Structure 1
Amino acid sequence: MASNTSSSSPNSRNGWTRSNSILRVSGTSIVDGDGNKVILKGVGLGGHLNMENFITGFTGHEHEHREALTAVLGKEKADFYFGRFLDYFFTDKDAEFLASLGLNSIRVPINYRHFEDDMNPGVIKPEGFRLLDRIVNICARHNIYVIIDLHTAPGGQNQDWHCDSGITKALFWKFKNFQDRVANLWFEIAKHYRGNPVIAGYNPLNEPSDPDHVNLIAFYARVEKVIRIVDPEHMLFIDGNTYSMDFTRFPKTPLPNAVYACHDYSFLGFPRGGTYTGTPEQKAKLRSSFERKVKFMRDAGVPIYNGEFGPVYASAEENGMSAAQVNECRVALLREQLSIYRETDVNWSIWTYKDINYQGMVYADEGSAYMKLLAPFIQKKKDLSADFWGSNDDKVKERYEPLFKAFREWVPEHLHNKKYPSPLWTIERHVERVVRETLLSEYLGWEMAEYFDGKSEEELDELAASYKFENCKVRDELNAALSEDAKATGKSSRL
């Protein structure tokens, strides 16, 4: 497929100009073709070309969600709905808003299923590039760099819902065929975008979790060579192992022209993690946690990219506090993290841009057609703790505790932490991931689909339009914190 360079011409807005050269690594910095330092500060476009349950309200995995709606609506109407959803979720108005905040980059998570079918592996579908080109061209018009992030791989590169495998094992590391398909996909992506200065680089795998800690290293070496066959210029964004937090088994010599990426979520930003009050102990823990994740980058002398971070926000009382009190604490936590990153010019991308009022900078209005239709289901899903992100299990804990207790008794104690990723996941976490977030969620996904039964194309269009920027609300406190940090860096942070 031909290189997409139609959007690569220089563009000027608000007194600054996007470089017409491709970004590259220079020591610990990212620079443009003239050697000017560029600090990438942006957001992940979660929920779009890779859908996630907590972002748009379904349960389980994206392919299950699509299949359930197709079974209810029929293929033609389901395709119509999802097509409209993708059209409305990210438009020029969204890019204009991000640029107005001073943000200069978007990390675009993609699902491999847009580019190939499991029943026709290795055959690349043009539709995937049409969808991705649309985002790239929008970003080009608003001077925003794009990082292409493979968020799902065939078989699943990690054990969680966001790699859309439908299971809780990362089979990507067990089957060479899966790895061959991803290498082929990156060859085609790199060929398509070579020479395009809007593209900041390629993120080969989001949050890989290789239990053996060696398959990932071999895969990175392989995919780097494959990409370089057709694109010797664009940077690579290399995630650490175990959900982008572990670099301890990485070779001391980094890959050429590569930025290494951690993810820096804090438990204090979630309902089960306690309350951030800004104590010296909490601030010290935030700093030490981040420095542990980036020790490899510091030692190797390469740029640091924090590909995901950020708390979730409350819309009702939580842990005995009002939503306003909770969110004040969460924004304070975010500001402290940003101050740590700013000290050493860390590149960052907050998670996530748009959702149903969990974590997004922008979120669907509760009065919109989508939110009114699905409000009962979304509340049920939350009460049942059917997705892990942004919920607690207060209302179902007593139901599951006997099961957890039984597992602790049935499994010898010395094996409780045997299953990877441990101790990141306890034995209870493994049980709830399988029972609640996979099996129960599959059943609930069929229930959600029934809410769409009988909807006309006009009604489906209205539901999808709930995600248009002009129909959404913005999270002012969060956006102010991000904008202040982005603009505080000055011109070096802009394109």
Structure 2
Amino acid sequence: MAGFLKVKGTKIVDENDHPVVLKGSATGGHMNMENFITGYPGHETEHKQVIKSKIGQEKFDFFFDKFYDYFWTESDAILFKNLGFNCLRIPFNYRHFLDDEGDLFEVKQKGFERMDKIVDTCAKHGIYTILDLHATPGGQNQDWHADSKIHFAMFWEFKVFQDAMVNLWGKIAEYYKDNKWVAGYNPLNEPAVSDHSKLIKFYERVDKAIRAVDPNHLLFLDGNTYAMDFRQFPDEPLKNAVYAIHDYTTFGFPNLEGTEYQGTSEQKTKIKSQYERKIEFMKSRNVPVWNGEFGPVYASEVRGDKDPHTINKARYNVLKDQLAVYKTGDPSGDGSPISWSIWVYKDIGYQGLTYVSPKSKWYQLFGEFFLKKKKLGLDRWGNNIDPEFAKLYADLEAHMKKNIPEKHHKAIYPHQWTINDYLYRVSKDMLFSQYAQHEFAELFVGLDFDELDELAASFKLENCLQRDELNQILREY
């Protein structure tokens, strides 16, 4: 390798100024567990707390230690490299480093031990890593993956939360300052705050804390409102910073009409214009863009989807058309590619390049629950609620719309969320899932240590399947 990566114009380059295009994926449900990735309902910390209450501390520690060990191993790094990837994004929950019941400014070594297992195996096989703070105290956005259990981003309301994260980034930067295989730091995943200045000030503070100990690594800065909005960012970009978008398209998700992507010129134009809108800041400031997340959701018979082959064929075409945009999408307009990280490397079959086998202990134990959870619509990501239950929410939505003036709804941030989005977030992601946590956790009860080991081993690469057509598309990029 050739030293630390750095920014030069709209390019990421090595120490010899040779352009480096970072291509890869994210571990996803590992050091930050998301409900659709591993299958639990609701929020990660509550999920863990309820399991602990059902099976006790000893079995809880045993299971999760095994889960963390098995989810990413050297075998995963080898496959990742063979797919033609050179960069792994590592989402992490702050709780790996800090204790909610202790001092939020006392950083635990355990977090570094878990992170090192991933960073070191990647370095061994020539893979860069990007460290991504995916969940903060109070939640940096309103959604489930910020792991706050509420639909307010309370991170922005309490300075002590922000102070703790600035301090944490200083400690992380000090720890990894000499590691040239760490491409850089992604200080916040998908921040969302109505007062844009709060995000700008936080980035400036993080930049100062990191640069005090580490002048070399890149910063990957997500735009506001879920990595989509840079309109309030200052004219002067931060030094050695790459600006990060997330570029999901509705064409890659289930829809109530049941229609699939046709690849029409109008649809392709929409995919391209959506991307172009998000990178206007990068074009005007002559800085690099990194697409930190994108990718369709795929259908599966084991999850009860009808005709998954036809659905997935359309979804692969969505992906190909997105990749075609990124292949010449550099903000400079010179026709060179951008760096990207597709979501996600491993899961239970929604988006993963690899996924847990339907024949695994995981599906044997939780398969029926997954079908029930899908029917009830407890995961908003990549699912439609069963029509039998959809009418219940539709009636409540209609009632709310009738009694809430449009101007009052638009006063609530994020403005892009519909009343239906808020309704589902509060009633299903939070309340309904809070009850469902107990049903899910009770399935762990009675398992002995060997069975818990087998359950966690469902996520070992040798026990997983690979999404061959998806991986071939990415190989050929």
Query: What is the root-mean-square deviation of aligned Cα atoms in Å?
Result: 1.3
Aligned residue for 1:79?
61
Aligned residue for 1:44?
26
Alpha-carbon spacing, 1:411–1:165, altered in 2? closer, same or farther (3 Å)? same
Structure-to-structure mapping, 1:366-385, within 5 angstroms: 366-385=358-377
How far apart, in 2, do the equivalents of 1:240 and 1:173 lie? Answer: 15
Alpha-carbon spacing, 1:205–1:123, altered in 2? closer, same or farther (3 Å)? same
Q: Is the CA contact 1:354–1:363 (under 8 Å) kept in the aligned structure 2?
A: yes
Report the Cα offset of residue 317 of structure 1.
Answer: 10
Aligned residue for 1:466?
458
Aligned residue for 1:179?
162
Aligned residue for 1:56?
38
Out of 65, 71, 77, which is 2:47 matched to? 65
How far apart, in 1, do the equivalents of 2:91 and 2:223 lie? Answer: 17
Per-residue CA deviations over 1:366-400 (Å, capped at 9, x if unaligned) read 00001111001111110011011110023321121
Report the Cα offset of residue 22 of structure 1.
Answer: 0.8
Report the Cα offset of residue 415 of structure 1.
Answer: 1.1
Out of 241, 255, 264, which is 1:258 matched to? 241
Between 1:68-77 and 1:409-418, the stretch displaced more is 409-418
Aligned residue for 1:279?
264
Per-residue CA deviations over 1:408-448 (Å, capped at 9, x if unaligned) read 123233212221111x2101110110001111011101110
Q: Is the CA contact 1:417–1:427 (under 8 Å) kept in the aligned structure 2?
A: no
Per-residue CA deviations over 1:281-313 (Å, capped at 9, x if unaligned) read 000000000000011011111111000000000
Structure 2 residue identity aligned to 1:383: K
Out of 177, 190, 213, which is 1:194 matched to? 177
How far apart, in 2, do the equivalents of 1:172 and 1:389 lie? Answer: 23
How far apart, in 1, do the equivalents of 2:31 and 2:165 lie? Answer: 17
Out of 406, 411, 420, which is 1:413 matched to? 406
> Structure 2-normalised TM-score?
0.96
Q: Is the CA contact 2:303–2:371 (under 8 Å) kept in the aligned structure 1?
A: no
Out of 16, 30, 33, which is 1:34 matched to? 16
Counterpart check, 1:299 vs 2:284: yes
> Structure 1-normalised TM-score?
0.92
Q: Is the CA contact 2:304–2:371 (under 8 Å) kept in the aligned structure 1?
A: no
Counterpart check, 1:94 vs 2:76: yes
Out of 295, 317, 328, which is 1:310 matched to? 295
Out of 198, 206, 216, which is 1:233 matched to? 216
- Helix, strand or coil for the counterpart of 2:279? helix
How far apart, in 2, do the equivalents of 1:438 and 1:323 lie? Answer: 29
- Helix, strand or coil for the counterpart of 2:196? coil
- Helix, strand or coil for the counterpart of 2:133? strand
Q: Is the CA contact 2:289–2:339 (under 8 Å) kept in the aligned structure 1?
A: yes
Report the Cα offset of residue 46 of structure 1.
Answer: 0.2
Aligned residue for 2:345?
353
Between 1:254-263 and 1:115-124, the stretch displaced more is 115-124
- Helix, strand or coil for the counterpart of 1:466? helix
Alpha-carbon spacing, 1:247–1:133, altered in 2? closer, same or farther (3 Å)? same
How far apart, in 2, do the equivalents of 1:419 and 1:226 lie? Answer: 33
Per-residue CA deviations over 1:319-375 (Å, capped at 9, x if unaligned) read 996100000000111011011101131100000000000110000000000111100
Aligned residue for 2:320?
335
- Helix, strand or coil for the counterpart of 1:109? strand
Structure 2 residue identity aligned to 1:74: G
How far apart, in 1, do the equivalents of 2:464 and 2:241 lie? Answer: 36
Q: Is the CA contact 1:44–1:350 (under 8 Å) kept in the aligned structure 2?
A: yes
Aligned residue for 2:421?
429
Aligned residue for 1:14?
none
Segments of structure 2 that go 5 or more residues without pairing to the other structure are 331-336
Out of 445, 451, 458, which is 1:453 matched to? 445
How far apart, in 1, do the equivalents of 2:142 and 2:414 lie? Answer: 9
How far apart, in 2, do the equivalents of 1:239 and 1:215 lie? Answer: 14
Structure 2 residue identity aligned to 1:44: A
Q: Is the CA contact 1:110–1:150 (under 8 Å) kept in the aligned structure 2?
A: yes
Aligned residue for 2:384?
392
Aligned residue for 1:482?
474
How many residue pairs match? The answer is 466
- Helix, strand or coil for the counterpart of 1:272? coil
How far apart, in 1, do the equivalents of 2:407 and 2:325 lie? Answer: 38
How far apart, in 1, do the equivalents of 2:105 and 2:371 lie? Answer: 40
- Give the % identical residues: 51
Runs of 4+ deviating beyond 4 Å: 317-321
Counterpart check, 1:155 vs 2:155: no
How far apart, in 1, do the equivalents of 2:65 and 2:304 lie? Answer: 39
How far apart, in 2, do the equivalents of 1:431 and 1:41 lie? Answer: 36
- Helix, strand or coil for the counterpart of 1:230? coil
Counterpart check, 1:217 vs 2:210: no
Q: Is the CA contact 2:4–2:180 (under 8 Å) kept in the aligned structure 1?
A: yes
Report the Cα offset of residue 79 of structure 1.
Answer: 0.8
- Helix, strand or coil for the counterpart of 1:363? strand
Q: Is the CA contact 2:299–2:350 (under 8 Å) kept in the aligned structure 1?
A: yes
Aligned residue for 1:130?
113
How far apart, in 2, do the equivalents of 1:119 and 1:320 lie? Answer: 42
Q: Is the CA contact 1:271–1:319 (under 8 Å) kept in the aligned structure 2?
A: no
